[in-house]
Amino acid sequence: MVALAPIGLDIGSTSIRAVEVARTKDRPVINNFGQALLPPGAVEGGVVKDERAVSAALKQLWTSQGFSTRNVALGVTHQQVVVREIEVSNLPPKEMRQALPFQVRDVLPLPVDEAILDFYPLEEPGTNDTVIGLLIAAPKEAVSQLVRAVERAGLHVESVDLSVFAALRAAAHLDSDAEAVIDIGANGTNIVIHEGGVPRIVRSIPRGGTEITKLIASRLGMSAAEAEVLKCRVGLTRGEGLESAEVVEEALRPLLNELRSSLSYYATAAGAQPVARLALIGGAAQLPGLVEKLQTTLGVTTFLSDPLQRVSDSRRGGRHDVLGRFRSSAAVSIGLTLGAA
């Protein structure tokens, strides 16, 4: 029996990615994938700035790709998203949803009536009076804007999930080790440290590939388009472009410091085991030499993770294999379909 899941829809700052899977008794099978570019400034930091542009891109994508459904599982990212470990009263699910705003209002950096709240338990509730878990809070208006832009394109938002959790489902390697899944995009980097697929720490860093491109363009006196090509071709490879490699290394330094800080914070948490490896995804993770740089600088095994590891794709191979070429950027959209079963 084959069942069609909602389309995994990831709306980034530079492009939109959508993945369609069919559910089989063995594992999900990808039967369609598409992406569409967004005009500059249409989406910034997870916030829709130009609703018309986003809706138009979605309409064009659905028309060109011929997806089988208009139901979508939507990924959300935002600099004000809060994911924090807290201890709350152990209540039945319905009562928990009603009581959560009152239990967490003192730990939220934004007004509770302006936030969408959720709670992810990290332990079996049992008969204890309290339960430890992750508080998840997202700005209500930012999420509403995103949903409006999607529904304006004639699509139906069936579910909403944090993009970082979707990336975790697609890219994580599940064993007893602590692992950091790091999604490096154009304008932001999301990091989630997990143990066996259970998230422990989530951070959003407002730094990404565009920052590197801008510095190359400024320092070497070239257009943004030329700088982007040079960045993607040379990256940190000094033998091919010493001057640009030095600029890239300089631009990366703040992000590396942020990542080091995240790993250090996790290591000092009570009972935490050291992070054993870094699993990289996202378009900017393809920067030549980045894997080696992170491994040397942070002293942790680093690799590019394959978000196709939990799905089948009968269409792979050949020059028309768009998903194969852009798989790292498709991690969130793939993970959204995995969570829609």
DSSP readout, 63-131? Answer: HHHT-S--EEEEEE--TT-EEEEEEEE---HHHHHHHHHHHHTTT-SS-GGGEEEEEEESS--TT-SEE
Q: Mean pLDDT across the stretch 125-130?
A: 82
pLDDT(341) > 60: no
Q: Mean pLDDT across the stretch 32-47?
A: 91
Q: Mean pLDDT across the stretch 144-164?
A: 95
- One-letter-per-residue 3-state SS of 16-44: EEEEEEEECCCCCEEEEEEEEECCCCCEE
Q: Mean pLDDT for the chain?
A: 89
Distances (CA, A) of 104 to 33, 82, 110: 39, 11, 11
Instruction: Please report how many Cα atoms fall inside a 13 Å half-sphere around the Cα of residue 228, on the Cβ side.
Output: 9
Read off the pLDDT of residues 53-80 as tens digits, 9 standing for 90 and up: 999 999 999 999 999 999 999 999 887 8
Q: Mean pLDDT across the stretch 38-46?
A: 90
Measured CA to CA, the distance from residue 30 to residue 22 in angstroms comes to: 6
According to DSSP, the residues that pair with 22 across neighbouring strands are: 4, 29
- The tokens for 196 are 């066996």
Q: How many helices (H) and strands (E) does the chain have?
A: 10, 16
DSSP readout, 143-180? Answer: HHHHHHHHHHTT-EEEEEEEHHHHHHHHH---SSSEEE
Read off the pLDDT of residues 234-252 as tens digits, 9 standing for 90 and up: 899 876 667 888 999 999 9
Q: Mean pLDDT across the stretch 131-149?
A: 92
pLDDT(125) > 80: no
According to DSSP, the residues that pair with 17 across neighbouring strands are: 10, 35
Closest among 339, 251, 265 to 74, alpha carbons compared: 339
